[in-house]
Structure 1
Amino acid sequence: MREVTLLDGGMGRELNRIGAPFRQPEWSALALIEAPHFVRAVHDHFIAAGAQVITTNSYAVVPFHVGEAVFAVEGRELATLAGQLARDAANDATHPVRVAGSLPPTCGSYRADLFDRQQADRILACLIGGLSPFVDFWLAETQSTTAEILAVRAALNAAGEQKPLWVSYTLADENPGAGISRIRSGETVEQAVTVAVEQAAAAVLFNCSQPEVMSAAVRAAQTTLAQLGVPLPIGVYANAFPPQSTDAEANDGLDELRPDLDPKGYARWAQQWLDEGVSIVGGCCGIGPDHIACVHRLIDQTHSDH
């Protein structure tokens, strides 16, 4: 029976829920700047829920969120702090926990059109330099275009980084019933997975999109990987948002969460993905420790049934 890896969930919503400093445009970076003990608390909550991987709180440590002036002066220091907080939480856990170094979209979430390679190179070098001593592998997440993956791989190579790279794409989800599965740039999942393989990804995932669009992407990824003869693990961590328009900016406000994606509702989707062959599962925006605990119980039950 295949092993299943359980990820954590969304950092920003949980910080807001437990009373951490939280506002736009800093989003989850504000707690890192003003009250980092809240960040550690969120890591601890997800570990207690059963997460085997926690993700560094570096997603919003980019000029898009903290501003150019803060990033220029404090960017690497904030990345280092994000890495240290996650590493300490993992080290103190009572079960094995790995730390994923979050490498976010550098020029704005969901907006492939805003991607700028020169800016990306500078931002990624800063994040990698700060996070590197603390992470077990890299997670390029919520990537909207394959150009972002090329930049990430180049930045890791430039830094001499040998740790594994997991690549996670965000999917176009404004029309869940559409036929061809695409990432937000308009590129097909087949194209996106091929680029991930070419850039030596150790896993391919899909995140920060509605649950309804994940299965089609998983099937497309499985077909593409089979054609390429590369048996990479596939992962899913969806969000709890309603459909996002093509010109949306992730984290431009606290979107309403879908009432059907409570912990049990989300776990039903997780069961579907696991049945379809996914071996990495977790949650993104709006998916909290209670959701992860519910998925953890599901995974435990599945394993005990075999």
Structure 2
Amino acid sequence: MNTSSVRIIDGGLGRELARSGAPFKQPEWSALALIEAPSFVSQAHRAFIDAGAQVITTNSYAVVPFHIGQERFEHLGLALVELAGRLAREAADCAAHPVQVAGSLPPALGSYRPDLFEPEAARRILEVIIAGLRPHVDIWLAETQSSIAEVELVREVLGDDPRPLWISFTLADELVQGRASLRSGESVTAAAQAAERLHAEALLFNCSRPEVMAPAVAEARAATGLELGVYANAFEPGDSTGGANVGLSRLRADTDPQGYLAWAQQWVDPGCQHGWRLLRHWTGTHCLPERCVRIASVQHPIGTLC
């Protein structure tokens, strides 16, 4: 297995912006740096590229009314999203190695909260985000999606845009009878079938505990031929009814890189023969560039993840 079989995505922008000293507080979260100090966003993109990222993600996740308010979204949302796309594009174009830009399409009405999803309200938000990112991205990344209905709307709003769509679902913190599920309660098999039906190029799982990723990947592998990937978080499990990004979550004490590698060896499949594999650094929600380098340089077991 050669290293070209793994695609490395950047780490979590929110954590990196906070770590670097960028303006960062609630309610704006990572959007505050776009508003007050965009140079920190460019710096974060460059740090992840220098760490070996082959795909960087636009800082558009928090450019939604939940974070910046409805009035500011109506007046500045399009400009902020366009800025997020442009900063990522500039960083990718200046990289010493090939780098693609993934346009982050967040859950429009609240992370971890499928109960808050309302199609028409979400459509209006997604239309702004997609319009602002469209000139700058190579890939559409619908991430932290809690239900199939959310990604169906993403596909509808994207229309006939020819760029690849990567769909990334967030999973419930606990397994039920050994099986993972979306936060909506829908099965991984149903999610995989929906991703195929929506002509996604890749199916991912993100913003979920590492322990639920293994059964999710195993079930998805049995249900679809799509490229698969994960980017787990390292948060202490919490009550998802409060949503995500209500504060910088406390990190688990057992989430050091070597510990993850030992854990990953328990479930990767050395014989998998998919074309390319997709991986975001497992500690993407809080990784430092130097830690990304160490993980990205390990060919086994990450090189056999599928």
Question: C-alpha displacement at 1:271, in angstroms?
Answer: 5.4
Which residue of structure 1 lines up, in the alignment, with residue 178 of structure 2? 179
Residue 179 to residue 290, structure 1, CA distance change in 2 (3 Å) = same
Distance (Å, rounded) in 2 between the aligned partners of 1:6 and 1:262: 18
Distance (Å, rounded) in 2 between the aligned partners of 1:185 and 1:128: 24
Distance (Å, rounded) in 2 between the aligned partners of 1:98 and 1:145: 27
In structure 1, give the amino acid aligned to 2:207: C
Q: Which of 255, 261, 266 in structure 1 is aligned with 2:255?
A: 261
Distance (Å, rounded) in 2 between the aligned partners of 1:282 and 1:65: 24
Which residue of structure 2 lines up, in the alignment, with residue 228 of structure 1? none
Instruction: Work out whether residues 100 and 136 of structure 1, in 8 Å CA contact, stay in contact via their aligned partners in 2.
Output: yes
Residue 244 to residue 287, structure 1, CA distance change in 2 (3 Å) = farther
Q: Which of 110, 120, 123 in structure 2 is aligned with 1:121?
A: 123
Which residue of structure 1 lines up, in the alignment, with residue 226 of structure 2? 232
Distance (Å, rounded) in 1 between the aligned partners of 2:130 and 2:166: 14
Question: C-alpha displacement at 1:124, in angstroms?
Answer: 0.7
Distance (Å, rounded) in 1 between the aligned partners of 2:298 and 2:176: 27
Residue 255 to residue 99, structure 1, CA distance change in 2 (3 Å) = same
Instruction: Work out whether residues 27 and 251 of structure 1, in 8 Å CA contact, stay in contact via their aligned partners in 2.
Output: yes
Which residue of structure 1 lines up, in the alignment, with residue 215 of structure 2? 216
In structure 2, give the amino acid aligned to 1:67: G
1:65-107 per-position Cα deviation (integer Å, ceiling 9, x unaligned): 1110111011111111000110111111111111000000000
Which residue of structure 1 lines up, in the alignment, with residue 17 of structure 2? 15
Distance (Å, rounded) in 2 between the aligned partners of 1:163 and 1:272: 35
1:214-250 per-position Cα deviation (integer Å, ceiling 9, x unaligned): 010000100111xxxxx21100000110113231311
Instruction: Work out whether residues 241 and 286 of structure 1, in 8 Å CA contact, stay in contact via their aligned partners in 2.
Output: no
1:251-294 per-position Cα deviation (integer Å, ceiling 9, x unaligned): 10111111221333344455556546581111332233233212
Distance (Å, rounded) in 2 between the aligned partners of 1:143 and 1:48: 29
Distance (Å, rounded) in 1 between the aligned partners of 2:131 and 2:185: 31
Distance (Å, rounded) in 1 between the aligned partners of 2:29 and 2:246: 9
1:138-177 per-position Cα deviation (integer Å, ceiling 9, x unaligned): 00000000000111001100xx42111000000001x257
Which residue of structure 1 lines up, in the alignment, with residue 98 of structure 2? 96
Distance (Å, rounded) in 1 between the aligned partners of 2:33 and 2:39: 8
In structure 2, give the amino acid aligned to 1:215: A
Distance (Å, rounded) in 2 between the aligned partners of 1:10 and 1:289: 11
Question: Is the partner of 1:107 in helix, strand or coil?
Answer: coil
* 1:13-52 mapped onto 2 (5 Å cutoff): 13-52=15-54
Distance (Å, rounded) in 1 between the aligned partners of 2:269 and 2:294: 16
In structure 1, give the amino acid aligned to 2:22: A
* 1:69-80 mapped onto 2 (5 Å cutoff): 69-80=71-82
In structure 2, give the amino acid aligned to 1:82: A
Distance (Å, rounded) in 2 between the aligned partners of 1:187 and 1:74: 35
Matched, 1:195 2:220: no
Question: Is the partner of 1:292 in helix, strand or coil?
Answer: helix
Instruction: Work out whether residues 81 and 133 of structure 2, in 8 Å CA contact, stay in contact via their aligned partners in 1.
Output: yes
Residue 88 to residue 148, structure 1, CA distance change in 2 (3 Å) = same
Instruction: Work out whether residues 59 and 104 of structure 2, in 8 Å CA contact, stay in contact via their aligned partners in 1.
Output: yes
1:193-220 per-position Cα deviation (integer Å, ceiling 9, x unaligned): 1111111100000000011100100001
Distance (Å, rounded) in 1 between the aligned partners of 2:265 and 2:52: 16
Question: C-alpha displacement at 1:296, in angstroms?
Answer: 1.1
Distance (Å, rounded) in 1 between the aligned partners of 2:163 and 2:264: 28
Which residue of structure 2 lines up, in the alignment, with residue 144 of structure 1? 146
Considering only aligned residues, what root-mean-square deviation do their CA atoms show, in Å? 1.9
Which residue of structure 2 lines up, in the alignment, with residue 281 of structure 1? 279
Instruction: Work out whether residues 192 and 203 of structure 2, in 8 Å CA contact, stay in contact via their aligned partners in 1.
Output: yes
Query: Quick check: which one's helix share is greater?
Result: 1
Question: C-alpha displacement at 1:118, in angstroms?
Answer: 0.5
Question: C-alpha displacement at 1:178, in angstroms?
Answer: 4.6
Gaps of 5+ in 1: 226-230
Distance (Å, rounded) in 1 between the aligned partners of 2:91 and 2:53: 12
Instruction: Work out whether residues 270 and 281 of structure 1, in 8 Å CA contact, stay in contact via their aligned partners in 2.
Output: no
Gaps of 5+ in 2: none
Which residue of structure 1 lines up, in the alignment, with residue 245 of structure 2? 251
Distance (Å, rounded) in 2 between the aligned partners of 1:298 and 1:197: 31
Instruction: Work out whether residues 22 and 33 of structure 2, in 8 Å CA contact, stay in contact via their aligned partners in 1.
Output: yes
Distance (Å, rounded) in 1 between the aligned partners of 2:73 and 2:110: 15
Distance (Å, rounded) in 2 between the aligned partners of 1:196 and 1:244: 27
Distance (Å, rounded) in 1 between the aligned partners of 2:265 and 2:72: 42
Percentage of matched positions with identical amino acids: 54
Distance (Å, rounded) in 2 between the aligned partners of 1:41 and 1:296: 20
Instruction: Work out whether residues 175 and 181 of structure 2, in 8 Å CA contact, stay in contact via their aligned partners in 1.
Output: no
In structure 1, give the amino acid aligned to 2:288: G
Question: Is the partner of 1:74 in helix, strand or coil?
Answer: helix
